């Protein structure tokens, strides 16, 4: 069964009571809601970073620079922020997880195309919107699996109640469509993260997912 088929937003009795906070945002009262966000020094922050993720390269003139993730991580360490967070090495998303949103033929294309063999796939470039904004680059699908796995794991930290805030700088590639790349994005980790939240019937207004 794919993940998508098990996703439904049917809050059970522990998650269905909504109230309104003073800022107007609804909040859930559930088993995770023991801690209120207010004093951030008490929040449990889960930080997901994969050393590999900054090594991927979209191409010399491309404005998307994954290397900035490495620089950001250096800043985090330089400022000792890692001592205030729980640090996690994210796992890679599985193809099954990715295909809970994306079409199998599109993922098969992402998996197989490389800079070396891309001429054999040129007829599919228009169909999957691969080209200038979304170039084929070395390790492209591995890059997708890394940032997507981190987002799913980050969301899971919220759904299982072990963190108040989850951070994955490498995520947020929200332009990717079900059957095509768009705006530097190939796999839409935001959708996958939302699926994870919805699997547990929780809309995390109280908790923060930073992507």
What does the binding site for Zn ion look like in residue numbers (CB under 5 A)?
175, 183-185
The nearest distance, CB 9 to Zn ion, in angstroms, is: 26
Annotation says 57 is catalytic: no
Inter-residue contact 94 to 148 (CB < 8 Å):
no
The nearest distance, CB 182 to Zn ion, in angstroms, is: 6
**Cα–Cα distance list, 146 to 101, 156, 191, 205 (Å):** 16, 15, 15, 26
Inter-residue contact 14 to 201 (CB < 8 Å):
no
Identify which of residues 137 and 184 has a Cβ nearer to Zn ion in the complex.
Answer: 184
Inter-residue contact 123 to 83 (CB < 8 Å):
no
The nearest distance, CB 56 to Zn ion, in angstroms, is: 15
Report which of 46, 66, 50 is spatially closest to residue 58, judged by C-alpha positions. Answer: 66
Among the listed residues 57, 62, 82, 175, the single catalytic one is: 175
DSSP letter (8 states) at residue 128 = H
Identify which of residues 91 and 175 has a Cβ nearer to Zn ion in the complex.
Answer: 175
Q: β-pairing, 208-210 with 45-48?
A: unpaired
Inter-residue contact 200 to 150 (CB < 8 Å):
no
Identify which of residues 47 and 147 has a Cβ nearer to Zn ion in the complex.
Answer: 147
The nearest distance, CB 150 to Zn ion, in angstroms, is: 16
Identify which of residues 27 and 148 has a Cβ nearer to Zn ion in the complex.
Answer: 148
β-partners of residue 6 are: none
Report which of 53, 33, 35 is spatially closest to residue 44, judged by C-alpha positions. Answer: 35
Active site residues: 175
């Amino acid at each position: 069964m794919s993940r998508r088929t098990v996703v439904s937003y049917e809050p059970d009795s522990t998650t269905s009571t909504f109230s309104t906070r003073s800022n107007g945002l609804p909040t859930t009262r559930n088993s995770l809601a023991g801690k209120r966000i207010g004093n951030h020094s008490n929040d449990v922050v889960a930080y997901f970073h994969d050393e590999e993720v900054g090594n991927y390269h979209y191409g010399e003139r491309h404005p998307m620079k994954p290397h900035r993730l490495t620089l950001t991580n250096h800043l985090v360490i330089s400022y000792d922020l890692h001592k205030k967070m729980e640090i996690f090495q994210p796992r890679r998303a599985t193809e099954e997880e990715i295909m809970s949103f994306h079409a199998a033929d599109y993922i098969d294309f992402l998996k197989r195309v490389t800079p070396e063999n891309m001429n054999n796939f040129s007829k599919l470039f228009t169909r999957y919107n691969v080209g200038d904004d979304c170039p084929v680059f070395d390790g492209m699908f591995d890059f997708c699996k890394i940032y997507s796995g981190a987002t799913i794991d980050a969301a899971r930290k919220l759904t299982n109640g072990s963190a108040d805030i989850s951070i994955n700088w490498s995520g947020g590639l929200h332009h990717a469509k079900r059957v095509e790349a768009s705006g530097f994005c190939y796999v839409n980790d935001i959708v996958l993260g939302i699926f994870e939240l919805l699997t547990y019937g929780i809309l995390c207004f109280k908790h923060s997912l930073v992507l």
